[in-house]
A and B are shown apart, each in its own frame.
Chain A
Amino acid sequence: MSPSSRQRARRRAGTGRHHAAHLDRWHRAAEIRDEWLRAALHTEPADRETAERAITGLYALLGRRRPRFHWAASPWQAVDLLDEPPIRLGGPVDPTAPWHVAHQLADVAHRLAGRLDERAGPAGTFWWTTERIARTRPPADALAAGVSLAELLVVGVRDSLDRSVHDGLRTPLRAALTEAVGEPPGLRWHGQHDAPWVAYHDVRRRLRPGLFHPDDDRQVDLWADIARSCGWWWPREDVCVVTERTGVAHTEALPGALHGEVRTHNRHGPAVGYADGWGGHAWHGTAVPAWVIEEPTVERIGAERNVEVRRCAIERLGWDAYLDQARLALVAEALDPGNPGCRLQLYELPQRVWGTPARVLLAVNGSVERDGHRRRYGLSVPADLDDPVAAAGWSYGLSGEQYARLLRRT
């Protein structure tokens, strides 16, 4: 037995008392995580005084004086206040550029994270066996099965908040900003949407007071104050553009989540938005353009290139409404080979709507969704196909006779 596996065996053989203590600390960690998730979803106006004081504290770490603060209602408006040349990647960093301060700050944050990880131990290194357990079993089971508290914090705090906040909130905002202004000016921080990394370190130090050096604790406090008090911010030479907090943030529980993960979803407007009305849209966790939620039409669906966006738009409209509004005529239907009890339906697509002759094949997924239903989905197929089985075959480069031999679909 290698020293490391002996160590793991000892840990697994740990007494019930140790397990209970770890479980208590895990419950505390989950409370702090949820506190941070609420901060990321916060929709009250920014606490400007706290934000300005904390950002000034970070500038002081760089030996710089308090910048002027420009407050913007949303990231979209913030971009307007930033009049700066594009950042060149790969070249030497220009110390006279207005965003040089942001480079320095990134360096400070990077070194801080390095020191904190050094003090807390290498929690990010997993054994593949325990990682699988940590990611697939409820926390109490995972601890009982030998997952360490440190590993559980990575999965249950850092990754959980990454999923909810980065993937959930930041992604639709970033997509909307890119759509509105092109690639947004880089080197920014995300305030409340930086909760994941701040929370991870905050949890570790609150579980083990004194873990970090007092200077580092003070710096974590600054980042934490910012994440609790404002939205996205762009530190620049002598000036800092700071965004208000989100005015709306609609989420739903991520089905099957073990660590309180949420996903963005709003069928009536922006899922994440600001008081000025600007925001990003999402359909059950998928970032989508505004029209998908606000004004899904058969024409737009027909013109949309991204199949995932098209799926969301049709689901928003509803398949039945879509078929009705698009006035699609059923050409033929047949049982789907390999997918017992499910039908393939071939519909005519009117050329005046879709611009080119085509038909749509409506099929049913081979596996159930999280809600227990099977998703119906549509695929465009060539207009000269009359047989749904041949149309399904065509989508895989097969003839109807070949596809008819399908034994199983999942």
Chain B
Amino acid sequence: MELTLEELTDRTGLTVLDHLERQVRIPVVDGLQAQGDLIVIPLAVLDDVEVPARARWRPVPPSGVELLRGAAGGNPHTLVAEPGAAEWTTEVRDRQRLAVGVLRATRPAYLIHPEHGGSGIAPGTYLVRRQRERSTQRGQADFLVAD
């Protein structure tokens, strides 16, 4: 069953901005999906990422795990799931150096952002990555996007 944005914010106590359509159902997707400057990628799609066998997995609490905050300090991307539905680890080797962490879900998990609304993630294992930009200044490395 797909939740509406209103049901999701009611369940989690998290908020989104008022202009977002609240009655819209949030599709639960098992493929790639982007939420602003974050992207959720099925781990099977990638060959340059490795989760060590000894990685510590932590349950995703219903109150959520804050993955990333925007430039001005507000607008976090928060990962939420029902109790026992998903685990999260930040112990991951990503050759692209863009990994935020890996999600392992047995039931749907959700990403919530005040401006981008909700993203439903189907059971499976996924890498969450940040977005980068090429530096336009000579000699500087690429930098990460913070919207």
Q: When the two chains form their complex, are residues A403 and B71 in contact, meaning their CB atoms are under 8 A apart?
A: no
Nearest CB in chain A: distance from B8 CB, A? 12
Asked whether A410 is an interface residue with its Cβ less than 8 Å from the other chain, the reply is yes
Q: When the two chains form their complex, are residues A303 and B15 in contact, meaning their CB atoms are under 8 A apart?
A: no
Q: When the two chains form their complex, are residues B133 and A408 in contact, meaning their CB atoms are under 8 A apart?
A: no
Asked whether B129 is an interface residue with its Cβ less than 8 Å from the other chain, the reply is yes
Asked whether A381 is an interface residue with its Cβ less than 8 Å from the other chain, the reply is yes
Q: A303 contacts which chain B residues (CB < 8 A)?
A: 136-137
Q: A286-B72, A355-B137 are in contact. Are A402 and B45 (CB under 8 A)?
A: yes
Stretch of A39-47, A54-62, A75-83, A367-375 on the interface side: A367-375
Asked whether A35 is an interface residue with its Cβ less than 8 Å from the other chain, the reply is no
What sequence of 0s and 1s flags, for each residue 27-56 of chain B, a beta carbon within 8 Å of any chain A beta carbon? 101011111100101000110100000000
Which size bracket describes the interface of A in this complex?
35 or more
How many chain B residues touch A (Cβ–Cβ < 8 Å)? 46
Q: A370-B17, A372-B19, A397-B94 are in contact. Are A409 and B33 (CB under 8 A)?
A: yes
Q: A136 contacts which chain B residues (CB < 8 A)?
A: 9, 15, 18
Q: B34 contacts which chain A residues (CB < 8 A)?
A: 338, 366, 396, 406, 408-410
Q: Which residue of B27, B36, B129, B137 is within 8 Å of A356 (Cβ)? A: B137
Nearest CB in chain A: distance from B15 CB, A? 6
Nearest CB in chain A: distance from B4 CB, A? 14
Q: A256-B17, A338-B33, A407-B32 are in contact. Are A397 and B116 (CB under 8 A)?
A: no
Q: When the two chains form their complex, are residues A402 and B32 in contact, meaning their CB atoms are under 8 A apart?
A: yes
Asked whether B98 is an interface residue with its Cβ less than 8 Å from the other chain, the reply is yes
Q: How far is the CA of A349 from the CA of B134 in the complex (A)?
A: 12
Asked whether A124 is an interface residue with its Cβ less than 8 Å from the other chain, the reply is no
Q: When the two chains form their complex, are residues A380 and B145 in contact, meaning their CB atoms are under 8 A apart?
A: no
Q: When the two chains form their complex, are residues B131 and A395 in contact, meaning their CB atoms are under 8 A apart?
A: yes
Asked whether B146 is an interface residue with its Cβ less than 8 Å from the other chain, the reply is yes
Q: When the two chains form their complex, are residues A410 and B116 in contact, meaning their CB atoms are under 8 A apart?
A: yes
Asked whether B25 is an interface residue with its Cβ less than 8 Å from the other chain, the reply is no
Q: How far is the CA of A380 from the CA of B143 in the complex (A)?
A: 10
Q: Chain B binding site: helix, strand, loop or mixed by DSSP?
A: loop
Q: B134 contacts which chain A residues (CB < 8 A)?
A: 358, 380-382
B41-80 interface (Cβ within 8 A of A) = 41, 45-46, 48, 71-72
Q: A14 contacts which chain B residues (CB < 8 A)?
A: none
Q: When the two chains form their complex, are residues A395 and B17 in contact, meaning their CB atoms are under 8 A apart?
A: no
Q: How far is the CA of A307 from the CA of B131 in the complex (A)?
A: 12
Q: How far is the CA of A65 from the CA of B77 in the complex (A)?
A: 53
Asked whether B108 is an interface residue with its Cβ less than 8 Å from the other chain, the reply is no
Q: How far is the CA of A366 from the CA of B137 in the complex (A)?
A: 28
Nearest CB in chain B: distance from A378 CB, A? 9
Q: B131 contacts which chain A residues (CB < 8 A)?
A: 379, 395-396
Nearest CB in chain A: distance from B42 CB, A? 9
**Chain B residue at minimum C-beta to C-beta distance from A402:** B45
Nearest CB in chain A: distance from B115 CB, A? 6
Q: A356-B138, A408-B119 are in contact. Are A397 and B17 (CB under 8 A)?
A: no
Q: How far is the CA of A407 from the CA of B131 in the complex (A)?
A: 17
Q: B129 contacts which chain A residues (CB < 8 A)?
A: 396-397
Q: Which residue of B98, B118, B133, B137 is within 8 Å of A379 (Cβ)? A: B133
How many contacts between A and B, using CB within 8 angstroms? 126
Q: When the two chains form their complex, are residues A255 and B135 in contact, meaning their CB atoms are under 8 A apart?
A: no
Q: B132 contacts which chain A residues (CB < 8 A)?
A: 395-397
**Chain B residue at minimum C-beta to C-beta distance from A304:** B136
Q: A305 contacts which chain B residues (CB < 8 A)?
A: 137, 143
Nearest CB in chain B: distance from A36 CB, A? 23
Asked whether A132 is an interface residue with its Cβ less than 8 Å from the other chain, the reply is yes
Q: A395 contacts which chain B residues (CB < 8 A)?
A: 131-133, 145
Asked whether A129 is an interface residue with its Cβ less than 8 Å from the other chain, the reply is yes
Asked whether B96 is an interface residue with its Cβ less than 8 Å from the other chain, the reply is yes
What sequence of 0s and 1s flags, for each residue 107-121 of chain B, a beta carbon within 8 Å of any chain A beta carbon? 000000101111100
Q: A338-B33, A405-B32, A410-B117 are in contact. Are A396 and B39 (CB under 8 A)?
A: yes
**Chain B residue at minimum C-beta to C-beta distance from A359:** B134
Nearest CB in chain B: distance from A376 CB, A? 13
Q: When the two chains form their complex, are residues A405 and B31 in contact, meaning their CB atoms are under 8 A apart?
A: yes
Q: A135 contacts which chain B residues (CB < 8 A)?
A: 15
Nearest CB in chain B: distance from A382 CB, A? 5
Q: How far is the CA of A307 from the CA of B136 in the complex (A)?
A: 12
**Chain B residue at minimum C-beta to C-beta distance from A303:** B137
Q: Which residue of B36, B135, B147 is within 8 Å of A380 (Cβ)? A: B135
6 contacts between A and B (CB under 8 A): A129-B13, A256-B17, A367-B36, A380-B136, A396-B39, A407-B33
Interface, chain B (partner A; CB < 8 A): 9, 13, 15, 17-20, 27, 29, 31-36, 39, 41, 45-46, 48, 71-72, 94, 96-98, 113, 115-119, 129-138, 143, 145-147
19 additional A-B pairs beyond A367-B115, A408-B34, beta carbons within 8 Å, are: A128-B13, A132-B15, A136-B15, A308-B72, A338-B34, A355-B136, A355-B137, A379-B133, A380-B134, A380-B136, A396-B131, A397-B48, A397-B129, A407-B31, A407-B32, A408-B33, A410-B113, A410-B116, A410-B117
